Structure 1
Amino acid sequence: MSDSQLKLPASMDKTPLKPPAVTALAVNSLQLPSSAAQQLKSSGSATGNPRNKCALKPGYSLMSWIRLCNSGADLSGTGGRVVPVSRSELALHNQVNDAWMAIRGKVFNVTRYMDFHPGGIDELMRGVGRDATKLFDEVHAWVNYPQLLGKCYVGPLKDNVAANVETDIIRPPPAPTELVPRFDWIQQRSELTLCFYTRRMANPGLLLKRKDASDVGLEVRVQLGSIWHVFSFKLSAAVVWPPKAVRVGPETGKIEVVLTKQVAEPWQTYGSQEISKLNSTCDERLTYEVLNCEVFNHDSFELCLQSIEQSVLVHLPVGYHLDIQLPLNGELLERSYTPVPHNCLLSNSEQIDANASPSIRQEFLIKHYEKGAVSSELKQLQPGATVQLSLPRGNFGLSALEAHRNILLLAAGSGITPILSLLRPLLKRQTNRIERLQLMYFNKTQADIWLKDKFQALQEADERFTCKNILSEAGGRISQELLAPLFNKQQAESFSFVAVCGPTGFNTAAVNSLRELQLKPDQMHVFQ
């Protein structure tokens, strides 16, 4: 994944880019202040810099958008109804093929507007799935968005809905009952096992934290979607840190933390606990130190991090990522990266302390960009240097794949990293066992392919998995023609679900091709 866009550590996930370009036609249609209109007419850009413009595809001009709005098409997706939207519901609609955003208390479905946006899809995606008011005001507050997006209006953001909403407004179905982990414990003479039960395909995350030097204080956080369920334990007696074993079942939803007692004897009780909740989007940061930073190939490097004093252990839900934050010239730079499974790195990872618990470490493969501020800084880190990591973030629902036995994975370049996290859970799945799992990996040249030997070994070990490398230097491109043979519904092994990750242009081309092949939104997931 590139680091061409940097992220802020606080309320915004991404650093604001340049305001999008606006054509003279848009100036006339969107009721700009006269001074701003004059500037835009003369320069063709919101900043006076014509390079901010994004070339639109033929048929996607402002006039084309107006014609679409007047065509009677259901751009809101609600069938003409006004539906109040909660923030949790808004957060679910955060993909190119299912994109909602809120501006000043109003929620708009901007899915169909993506290709019409003068600033490009990348720019619009920065506000998708959340309240984009602040971002909107910073970039182009002067735009008459109610006029431009009126036909895309879904309804008011629920925080802004009065208690006595008119009875003629059709409300969304009630939210499902919140899933709360159930706790239990078992022991042997020398061991204590803390058990947390969620549900099948819950895809839980886990954070363990040693709270004090007495070795009786332990914090266990179970991540379920956007919520952390926090269990603060005061154990009956001291245990050894780090845990002897940690098992997280993405399919079963069961978590086991096995701790070694410092004194081998039976306990009357595990101790006591306090339970609370924490939103996963909080700005808490975890300090990690660099264990290793080595060249991986001609434009990529390996980065292995370990929790300071090994006090924190993190297990990410399948398909989730972390934000790496580091200071530069008085500012904090932040970028999202997906850790790779611990058996993926090919060089020095085997030389790191074999006694260290793998989950105390986070390992990354990172592509270096010459003008990428974050990747350039990370590449120069020396052992012992420290960085800050966010809590795990993401929106991937493993349960969406449960009904599918033939799954296609589309990855481009460093977009392979979230795809890597899917391989083991899918191939090890016991219920509705996978029949066919195919990876189509797009790169420019042979030298750009990551983990080629690993994929070949997996292909030889499990006949259900195949990997096909597609090179742009040989004319390979994501397209409907390339994918069409894989979706012949007359064949039993036709793929029924697709996961996609790559640069935004690749993702958009993949989604458009899949739509043409009649795949529905619930048959695909795009990692952003």
Structure 2
Amino acid sequence: MSDSSLKPPTSNAPLRPPQVKALASSGGLQLPQTAQQKLNSSASSSASGSATGNPRNKCALKPGYSLMNWIRLCNSGADLSGTGGRVVPVTKNELALHNKVTDGWMAIRGRVFNVTRYMDFHPGGVDELMRGVGRDATKLFDEVHAWVNYPQLLGKCYIGPLKENPVKVSKDTADFPLPAPISKPAEIVPRFDWIQKSSELTLIFYTRSFANPGLLLRRRNTKELVVRVLVEHKWHVFDFQLKDKVEWLPKTVKIGAETGKIEIVLGKEESAPWTNYGSHTSSKLDSPTLEEESYEYEVTRTKEFNDDSFELSLQSNQREVLMVPPVGYHVSLEAPLDGGVVQRSYTPVESSLLGLEANPPEGLHFLVKRYPNGPMSSHLHQLSVGSRVQLTPPRGGFLLSELTGHRNILLLAAGSGLTPILSLLQPILKRNTNRIESLLLFYFNKTKEDIWLKEKLEELHSQDERFSCTHFLSQAEDQPQRITTELLAPLFQEKQPDRCTYVAICGPSSFNTAAEDILTELKVKPNQIHVFRG
């Protein structure tokens, strides 16, 4: 299935004047009144039969909620469907659950639309539109104005087909073709390919755009290696018996955040063309199964970062394992302490952020905050080069694909919670699909001395003005600042074209809870929020 088949059914072309005129003359999407409502209306209306003097019972819209304002909102890139750009089939039972003003879905001729953001733009008023919410409103719609081009009007609100009610193309939608109803996306199974040069062998694995794959590569000997590709909590295992010997480690490993393509470039021990790559078998493992494993890593570098934090670089013992976590994932470090095994989660940091441009590809680098009563951080801090620790395979639940439908994104970080947030910056800023308009980082610390990588964040802003970082200090002498509703509210004003539509959060549990509570108060939906948890 191509990526284009997953996009909501909407035209890329702007509305031409005749289209705008047609929508304006139709009054948008208006549902019929009941007989009793009509009698009540006629008792207090003018001779035209409407309180507004319009026989079609339009209501006076609030300033800023005209048809043109709706068109501007539709063209702003806002995720009006709430699906992040995916087409998702909807059952009738699921449709019935979305029956509120703050969460309203409606089906018309087998197509389900999220009309929540359209409520205040509806010429017939919110109450009239609510009569069709949570149900199949085709009959209600057809009773009054079946001629309205609802796919054009609500195209950006399209969620997906209504199950057991197939799409029927009619005359009023002939100029607005929709994809055939689809089921949920099939499981992503990496597709293998290979290419070679005289001195190199490249193993290639294709997943899917924004699939956010992870990689665990393990060598058995010079001709045998195991490649494990992590996609959506499933490990796909490729066990290779190569044609001839290759060098270890790989020369390069590339994972395309946007393309989902993995390239592993291995040097051949002898330069010569191969007639084939060899052979392989494939299998699958659930993440929980693999997470029971751990790998021995050794310390290759330690360095003080500030008064209570330090840098730590690790690589596989014997250099026979290479691990690349997916964006936003963490690994757990284990150590035998106090008569048991203590485990803590840490998110690796890009080597370039620590000034380690030429570091080997198999290394993992961490910024670790040292806590006076923290057994693991204290243990890691006293390790010297050559010391050993155990690492688990990558863990996490972040879906990079959820961000593709959002152009204005807010990142909230507190203290050492910055590390998973850092992993998002480049994948978001570099994407070409639905290019980002603004990426805002609100970074909370106690004092200026606690801020991590301040200069690097400023440098990133100078390179790309779409990104900005604002610092908040809870122990600032002049004006202490904490996360509050008043601080975040301006970013989530309704109908504002550049309002933030997605939020990623990481910090202490109290910070995460406070942020979630505020966002809920601001009516940000759960599927527009991701909280990184260890």
- TM-score class, shorter-chain normalisation, is 0.5 to 0.7
Give 1:295 shift. 1.3
Give 1:256 shift. 0.8
CA distance in 1, matches of 2:491, 2:184: 36
RMSD: 1.8
1:317 aligns with 2:326: yes
CA distance in 1, matches of 2:268, 2:382: 41
1:259 aligns with 2:261: no
CA contact (8 A) 1:205 1:316 kept: yes
1:492 alignment partner in structure 2: 497
1:185 alignment partner in structure 2: 194
Give 1:431 shift. 0.6
CA distance in 2, matches of 1:261, 1:323: 33
Aligned pairs for 1:311-350 within 5 A: 311-346=320-355, 349=356
User: Aligned to 2:231, which of 224, 232, 241?
Assistant: 224
CA contact (8 A) 1:242 1:357 kept: no
CA contact (8 A) 1:281 1:393 kept: no
CA distance in 2, matches of 1:185, 1:448: 47
Give 1:310 shift. 1.4
Q: Identity of counterpart residues, as a percentage?
A: 56
1:248 aligns with 2:251: no
Partner deviation per Cα, 1:449-484 (whole Å, 9 max, x = no partner): 000000010011111000000000132111111001
Give 1:323 shift. 0.3
2:217 alignment partner in structure 1: 208
SS of the equivalent of 2:228 reads strand
1:409 partner amino acid: L
1:518 alignment partner in structure 2: 523
What is the number of equivalent residue pairs in this alignment?
350
CA contact (8 A) 1:186 1:192 kept: yes
Give 1:345 shift. 1.6
Give 1:174 shift. 8.8
1:422 partner amino acid: L
User: Aligned to 1:405, which of 407, 412, 429?
Assistant: 407
1:293 alignment partner in structure 2: 302
2:420 alignment partner in structure 1: 418
SS of the equivalent of 1:252 reads coil
User: Aligned to 1:235, which of 217, 233, 242?
Assistant: 242
CA contact (8 A) 1:306 1:362 kept: yes
User: Aligned to 2:369, which of 361, 367, 370?
Assistant: 367
2:380 alignment partner in structure 1: 378
CA distance in 2, matches of 1:194, 1:217: 13
Give 1:384 shift. 0.5
Partner deviation per Cα, 1:175-222 (whole Å, 9 max, x = no partner): 75321111111112221111111111100001111112xx11111110
CA distance in 2, matches of 1:328, 1:239: 39
Give 1:329 shift. 3.6
TM-score of the aligned structures, taking structure 2 as reference length: 0.64
CA distance in 1, matches of 2:397, 2:245: 37
Give 1:325 shift. 0.2
SS of the equivalent of 1:391 reads coil
> 1:376–1:251: structure 2 CA closer, same or farther, 3 Å change rule?
same
1:485 partner amino acid: P
1:447 alignment partner in structure 2: 449
Partner deviation per Cα, 1:124-144 (whole Å, 9 max, x = no partner): xxxxxxxxxxxxxxxxxxxxx
CA contact (8 A) 1:442 1:469 kept: yes
SS of the equivalent of 1:411 reads strand
2:360 alignment partner in structure 1: 357
Aligned pairs for 1:52-67 within 5 A: none
Structure 1 gaps, min length 5? 1-80, 83-172
CA distance in 2, matches of 1:362, 1:330: 27
CA distance in 1, matches of 2:337, 2:475: 36
CA distance in 2, matches of 1:332, 1:424: 35
CA distance in 1, matches of 2:380, 2:265: 34
1:281 alignment partner in structure 2: 288
CA contact (8 A) 1:339 1:417 kept: yes
CA distance in 2, matches of 1:363, 1:379: 14
1:199 aligns with 2:201: no
1:208 partner amino acid: L
Partner deviation per Cα, 1:39-72 (whole Å, 9 max, x = no partner): xxxxxxxxxxxxxxxxxxxxxxxxxxxxxxxxxx
Range moving further from structure 2, 384-393 or 237-246: 237-246
CA contact (8 A) 1:410 1:440 kept: yes
1:429 alignment partner in structure 2: 431
1:357 partner amino acid: P
SS of the equivalent of 1:522 reads helix
